[in-house]
Every structure is written in C-alpha cells, then in structure tokens.
Amino acid sequence: MTEPPRPPGAGDPGAQPPEETPPSAPPGSSSANEPPTAPLSGAPGGGGYPPPGDYPPPSGGQPPSGGYPPPGGYPPPGGQPPPGVGYPTGGAYGPPAGFANNDDKTWALVAHFGGAAGMLIGGGVLGWVAPLVALLARGNQSPTVRAHAIAALNFQLIWSIIALVGWILACILIGIAIGFGAMIVGIVFGVLAGVKANEGQLYRYPMSASLIK
C-alpha cells in the first residue's frame, strides 16, 4: 500500500521550516536613505557649520520647553556678536554733522566764538578780528568754513562800527549806552552762533548786513 506524498521536509528528521523573510520597506522609508544627523554635543558638523538648532545653550542647560532652541538660535559660545552686528568701532563714526572734517569745525568755532571774545576783550570793537582770521586761513580751502566766517564777519563788523561810534560819543551819556549795548549784542549773538556751529548748522545773524561776500 503506497503512502500519500508528504510536504517537503515534513517527515525528514532534523529539517527546519523555511525562514520567513521580512517584508520589504516601502520605497523612500528605508533607514539607509535617511541622512545622518549631526551630533548634539555642540561640535560643528561637516564643513564647519554649527549643528542643527544652532549652538548649544550658553549656560550648558537644557533648551526651553518643547526641546527646541529659542527663535534665532543660541548665540555663539564666545559671546561675541556676528560680524556686522553691534556698534561701530574706532574710526567708523565719521566727521561731525555739517562739516567735512574736524578742522573745518574748529575754524567755524573760531569764527563765531572768537568774534564774541573779541567784542568782550576789545570793548566791542574787535569782534571782526577772529572771523577775518578764519576766513583768510581756511576760507579758500573749505566752502563751509567760508560761509561761517563770512556770516560772523559781517555781523561783527556792523556791531563793531556801532560800538566804535558809541565810544567816540562817550562824552555824551547816550554814546556810552550805545557802546555798551553794541558790545553786549556782539557777545550774545556770537556765542549763539558758535553753539549752532558746534551742532553743524550755519547760524543766521539778526541785524546784520552783507558787507563781505
């Protein structure tokens, strides 16, 4: 009597059932295709770039809640801002506003403050000296200094002449008053013009005339 055929390996001693092969992963989900992640120790990754999430927390602590770095990432470990961020350093501020350089500003102040000092020292008749010196010394090289010096010179000339007339008429009481009044006017407005020149502005003297152009 014949036996029915057996399945392969069913009656063979020591035979093992065939191993099942795991199902293949769908395309695109294989771990072999996943890019390597950078280390989380804070060391730069390949090419010198910082790891994902920028630099580690400066204090060595944990990131904020949620495990993500703050917006914009952490600052670099050295604590220094990146190039182009922060205040300008030496030499980056440039000349004062309204002047090409510091020499122009100095001569403009000489014209205005010097005119006020000349009125005080010279009894009201020497306020024109300092503006004239500034005009001759720097006026040909700098249009800015020339404008300041001419404005101060025209004003101080007018009031120096008025003061001189007042002193000539000093024998009369009104002449003394005119002399003192012209001296005070020259001092006050000369100081005001100097303050404006220090801010880079050209002061328009009141009660002046364009005697010098």
Residue range 128-161, pLDDT digits in tens: 999 999 999 999 999 999 999 999 999 999 999 9
pLDDT score, position 89: 43
Alpha-carbon distance of 211 to 203, in angstroms, equals 17
The whole-number pLDDT of residue 22 equals 54
Domain boundaries, the chain: 102-198
Report pLDDT for 136.
94
Per-residue pLDDT tens for 167-193? 888 767 777 788 888 889 999 999 999
User: What's the pLDDT at 134?
Assistant: 95
Q: Give the residue-averaged pLDDT of 102-107.
A: 93
What does the pLDDT read at residue 52? 56
Nearest partner of 196 among 99, 103, 54, 52, judged by Cα: 99
18 vs 122, which has greater pLDDT? 122
Is the pLDDT at 73 greater than 90? The verdict is no
Whole-number Cα distances in Å, 174 to 32, 62, 157? 107, 86, 21
Distance CA 55, CA 91 (A): 32
Q: What is the mean pLDDT of the chain?
A: 73
Question: Mean per-residue pLDDT for 81-96?
Answer: 48
pTM of structure:
0.50
pLDDT at 86 over 60: no
DSSP β-bridge partners for residue 54: 74
Check pLDDT > 70 for residue 113: yes
Angle at 16 between CA 10 and CA 21, to 5 degrees: 115
Over the Cα atoms of the chain, what is R_g? 44
Could you give the CA distance from residue 66 to residue 52 in angstroms, rounded to a whole number?
Answer: 15
